[in-house]
Amino acid sequence: MQLSTHTTPSGFLLPSIHSAPPFFTQQPNPATQAIVAEQWSKLILSYARFRNMFTLRVEDAEIPGGEWDEVLRNERINRRLLPAHLASLIADMVSKNLASYDPPNQTRSVLLWWRQPDEWAEVLYQWADSTGQMNTILTFYEILDPPVPSALSGIPITVLRRAVSILTKSQRAQIISVSDGEGVRFLSRNGK
C-alpha cells in the first residue's frame, strides 16, 4: 500500500502516516499506541503552529467543518479521530508538557505549547528589544494587539502571562499592577 503526503486546501503538508487507516484508531498495544500518540502530538503541534492556533478541544473531533477538520479527519480514507481517542492523546500531550489544560481543572480543552513558555519569553523579549520598547510600560492588550502585527499578535493572554513571569524571574521584565489592570516593563539585561 502506497502512502503519500497530502497538501490541504490551507497549504499544510500532511505526513504520509495521515493516510494510514490504523493511525486513526486507538491501538491496544501500549508500545504501538505510544508511537501513534507521538506522531499525533507532532502533527497537532505543527498544524497549530502553521495556523497560529492555540487551543484544541475534545469537541473539535466532533465538529465537521471546524478549524481542526483538516487534521482530525481524512475523507480520502474515510477515517476520523474519535473524541475518546483525541481525549487520550490530549492527556498524553499534557503529561509531556506539550499542552496544558486551559482553563485548569477540566480535561476538555487545552492550550497547545508549540513554543515552550521559555521560548515564548525569548520571542517576547526579542520583540520588545527590536521595537525599542525597553523601559517602556506596556499593557498586555498592547502586546496582544499591537498596531504593527508581530509574532505575538493574537496569542492567548495565558501564554503571555507565562512568558512575562519567566522574564520577571530573570529580571528582564517587571510587572506593574494598578487598580484596574496590569502592565509590564521590559528591562535591558545590562541595565542598572
Partner 1 sequence: MGGNQSVPKVTAQDRAILDLKLQRDKVKQYQKKIQAVLDREYEIAKRQLAEGHKDRAVSTLRKRKYQESILHKTDAQLENLETLVSTIEFSLIQVSVMHGLKQGNEVLKQIHKELNIENVEKLLEETAEAREYQREIDEMLANTLTVEDEEAVQAELAALQGEQLGAGQKKTPVVFPPVPKTEPVASKPVVMEPRAEDQAASPERERVPVAA
Q: How many Å apart are CA 183 and CA 31, to the nearest integer?
A: 47
User: Is 178 near partner 1 (CB under 8 A)?
Assistant: yes
The smaller minimum CB distance to partner 1, of residues 31 and 178, is found at 178
141 binds partner 1 (CB under 8 A): yes
Q: Interface residues for partner 1 in 82-111 (CB under 8 A)?
A: none
From candidates 80, 100, 142, 158, binder to partner 1 by CB under 8 A: 142
Smallest gap, in angstroms, from Cβ of residue 73 to partner 1? Answer: 31
Residue placing its CB nearer to partner 1 in the complex, 45 or 143 = 143
Stretch that binds partner 1, among 39-47, 48-56, 88-96, 183-191 (CB under 8 A): 183-191
* 175 makes contact with partner 1 (CB under 8 A): yes
Please report how close the Cβ of residue 148 comes to partner 1 at its closest, in angstroms: 15
Q: Which part of the chain contacts partner 1 (CB under 8 A), choosing from 5-13, 65-73, 122-130, 131-139?
A: 131-139
Phi-psi region of 52 (alpha: psi -120 to 50; beta: other; left: phi over 0): left
Of 163, 161, 187, the C-alpha closest to 174 is 187
d(CA 72, CA 70): 6
Name the nearest CA neighbour of 23 among 74, 62, 91, 84: 74
Neighbour count for residue 77 (Cβ, 10 Å) = 13
Interaction of residue 65 with partner 1, rule CB under 8 A: no
Asked if 185 touches partner 1 (CB under 8 A), the answer is yes
Assigned C-alpha cell, 186: 521590559
167-185: b (≥16 Cβ within 10 Å) or e: beeeebbeeeeeeeeebbe
Number of residues that bind partner 1 (CB under 8 A): 20
Q: Applying CB under 8 A, does 183 fall inside the site for partner 1?
A: yes
For 2-40, the three-class secondary structure string (H helix, E strand, C coil) is CCCCEECCCCCEECHHHHCHHHHCCCCCHHHHHHHHHHH
**Residues within the interface to partner 1 (CB under 8 A):** 136-139, 141-142, 145, 168, 171, 174-176, 178, 180-181, 183, 185, 187, 191-192
